[in-house]
Structure 1
């Protein structure tokens, strides 16, 4: 019996020149890494300008992300490429600024809010199914459809408008332009540059970012006026814009809210689209699991939030897709003081890389690390690794505030789509994972779509 493994990018040789490494890194950070990182507890990389250390040992990751997060703030080097779009958003800030932002944002994503956002999320899922119905049977690039669905979820839950709304549609279109023009890393990630020096962005990157921010500014100003008039809908944007920092008593200014909306769209749309697309591909690659999901989806009958508790297989499959294809493949922190990890002394200013991509496939932690096995979450090894080696939304104080949101959105969309349609892989069209803003396929994910006869 032939064992089919989900695709992963080829690893580079252990030794390459710095120039070759930088070139590979800017094109795709996954294939720029050597195979040995799937077994290493820690690895060092040296350049003339900085030292970088990847840590895969769970205890070290806990030290950096959970026990002492203030001693390992986000690296400014890595944020340079995203600054034109995200400004001073919660994704990029550190210290007191970040803590203030999270005090305002977190209440909007507390557990009880999921039930309140459910109708909008469900409506977006129904709209996604309708768009697929309109396409009919045939070949489809599923990343594009997943992006459309995820963007619709974000706009419906954040601003109570569907993706067909003029401004929402414009943001979605401009974001695709931004994504295509923006590499995962700017040159400033590799070479120390003073703040006044130009960052050498690609030609269209800054324009696309400005266009997106202008559109979001219009939505934010309009919502502020609705809040003042008492006519604002009770959605995530209203919740966040009316929440005062319990320490200072201040709310977000318009510019601050634009920064946050930009990261909500990036994090909530781009990452969700990546996860959904890879999950649908895996369901096509393993049709037995696709059939199980379709059967389980019959529990979705009246659109009630309580039905989510019945989608247990869907959650297991979605979680396994997040393990194999974590949307954010690497997180970079920076040391503030001298450290000693394993047998290495680490100087202040060094980069500490936590890689969900390598951690989730680590050969010394996981049983069958490269295989697709949704049942693993009920095994002893799977439960242990879920506690200490599964961080698709990061972990510790900087865990993504929308993690619970994503774990409802993904299984819901997956179930509603597979309830109505079945997918098959396309011969000679195996997707190759690459890291852009998130883990996407090099040339898209192509599947054959067919309406399910028992739908």
Structure 2
């Protein structure tokens, strides 16, 4: 299998400050080679210690077995608070548990089947937009961001991206994305707690605008619920669900926090994953042709068609492995621990990195290679259980993981059914870590009608 582009060489050792500069420029080249072999690595700062953990048993301890002992790090979440407030993505403890008890029912049972028509309509709208660009070199991340945002608004509020409020949120979010600092660097180069947090110009302003627009959407929906005219979509389900323990429902302010993270997580991560998948298809035309043939099954809106998109699902999973949208997750240790003969003191940062784990040389066969067939091999199935965490794992696994695994293969198949994408040799994308793993200068592909 032809591997995706690799850096000419990964540094085996690198200073913390050089690492910071490299990380901003190219996340793939920034990583010292030893981190793709190590089970655990220590980063020392003047203020405390950070530990990168790659050993599956330790990751299981942190994410699955004892998640309450390893809450999300406040140091990392502070950068998102202007937009997300106290959303489920940032909270810990009993607050988080209450939020999940209210949110989770909206994503359980047959909800995927119920929202599938909205995803189908968003995929059709994507194909219509692309039709006007046939024969051109297009920036794919722009198109996948549009498609993912369309899915979010259709499934959450039953409105397309063309609705004036949806469009306004989408446009404001693009401004926010450009102003948002790199979050994951704080895991390695943290500021002391007493130092004030600074944001790039425009971050607070764009976050406030997004929240104002979401508040308007949420207020309108609350009125529709009270009037008995609200559509049966995700927003209505969440806003009318009571916590089975306390009987409380989300207030308008709380719902704004949750909608903000639904949009951020559901839009930003899906857009990243779909863009990199299309790039991989452009560089692996044999696989692209296989998916196009499989996509002929897309004829009418029927959830059962997803069972026929098996290759598309394998390809999308492989893209999530090579280019996980969230490259690193950070937890804070609250108890004295002994990990791999090292004392890990309370307050230490534990970095769980899908970026390293998914390419780990001691876990995966051909870790840097693109091979969608791996998911049916003994090694691939073992790694899928123990070393594949694009949506995190354990109690804090992404609520929308099931949605993403329908949305991604569906839109991918719909695009490739009618169109062919080809790489542009002079514009090889360089992965960098912004809110998610994106390309430094976009992902540019030539679009042709199939």
Which residue does 1:297 correspond to in 2? 295
- How far residue 254 of structure 1 moved from its aligned partner, in angstroms, is 0.7
- How do 1:8-407 and structure 2 match up within 5 A? 8=6, 13-25=11-23, 31-185=29-183, 190-194=190-194, 198-407=196-405
Q: For residues 10 and 84 of structure 1, do their structure 2 counterparts lie closer, same or farther at Cα, with a shift above 3 Å needed?
A: farther
- For 1:336-375, what per-residue CA distance to the aligned partner results, in whole angstroms no more than 9, with x for missing partners? 0100001101000000010001000000000000000000
CA shift at 1:32, angstroms?
A: 3.8
Following the alignment from structure 1 to structure 2, what is the Cα–Cα distance between the partners of residues 28 and 324?
A: 14
**Corresponding residue for 1:418?**
416
Deviations 1:269-291 (A, max 9, x none): 00000000000110110000000
Contact 2:24–2:432 (CA under 8 A) maintained in structure 1: no
Q: Deviations over 1:292-323 (max 9, x none)?
A: 00000111111101111110000000010000
Q: CA deviation at 1:383?
A: 0.6
Taking the aligned partners of 1:13 and 1:392, their CA distance within structure 2 comes to 25
Distance 1:109 1:275 in 2: 21
Distance in structure 2 (CA, Å) of the matches to 1:193 and 1:305: 49
Distance 1:346 1:271 in 2: 31
Structure 1 residue 186, shift from structure 2 partner: 8.6
So what's the TM-score if we normalise by structure 2? 0.97
Q: Which runs of 5+ in 2 are unaligned?
A: none
- How far apart are the structure 1 equivalents of 2:258 and 2:119? 20
Mapped to 2, the partners of 1:237 and 1:109 lie a distance apart of: 11
CA contact (8 A) 1:187 1:199 kept: no
8 Å contact from structure 2 (residues 431, 438) kept in 1: yes
Task: Say which SS state the counterpart of residue 279 (structure 2) adopts.
Answer: helix
Contact 2:73 2:331 in 1 (8 A): yes
Q: 1:216 to 1:188 in 2, by over 3 A?
A: same
Give deviations 1:149-178, integer Å, cap 9, x for gaps: 000000000000100111111111111111
Query: How far apart, CA to CA, are the structure 1 residues paired with 2:185 and 2:143?
Result: 32
Is the contact made by 1:111 and 1:404 (CA closer than 8 Å) also made in structure 2?
Answer: no
Gaps of at least 5 residues in structure 1 are: none
The C-alpha deviation readout for 1:61-115, integer Å capped at 9, x for no partner, is 0000000000000000111111111110000000000000000000111131001
Quickly say closer, same or farther: Cα 1:139–1:237, change in 2 above 3 A: same
Describe the SS at the equivalent of 2:447.
strand
Query: Kindly tell me: are residues 351 and 270 of structure 1, through their superposed partners in 2, closer, same or farther at Cα, counting changes over 3 Å?
Result: same
Report the alpha carbon displacement of residue 198 of structure 1 after superposing the two structures with TM.
Answer: 3.6
Say whether the 8 Å CA contact 2:277–2:316 is kept in structure 1.
yes
Aligned residue pairs, count: 448
Separation of aligned partners in 2, 1:308 and 1:186: 34
Q: 1:210, CA displacement in angstroms?
A: 0.4
C-alpha contact 2:23 2:433 (8 A) present in aligned 1: no
Instruction: Quote the Cα distance in structure 1 between the aligned partners of 2:209 and 2:108.
Output: 31
Q: Secondary structure at the match of 1:135?
A: coil
Query: 1:120·1:156 contact (CA, 8 Å) conserved in 2?
Result: yes
**Per-residue CA shift, 1:365-409, capped at 9, x if unaligned?**
000000000000111111111010111100000000100000000
Matched, 1:448 2:446: yes
Contact 1:122/1:303 (CA < 8 Å) preserved in 2?
A: yes
The separation in 1 between residues aligned to 2:247 and 2:275, in whole angstroms, is 41
Please tell me the root mean square deviation across aligned C-alpha atoms, in Å: 1.6
Q: State the alpha-carbon separation in 2 of the partners of residues 217 and 377 from structure 1.
A: 42
TM-score by length of 1: 0.96
SS of residue matched to 1:298: helix
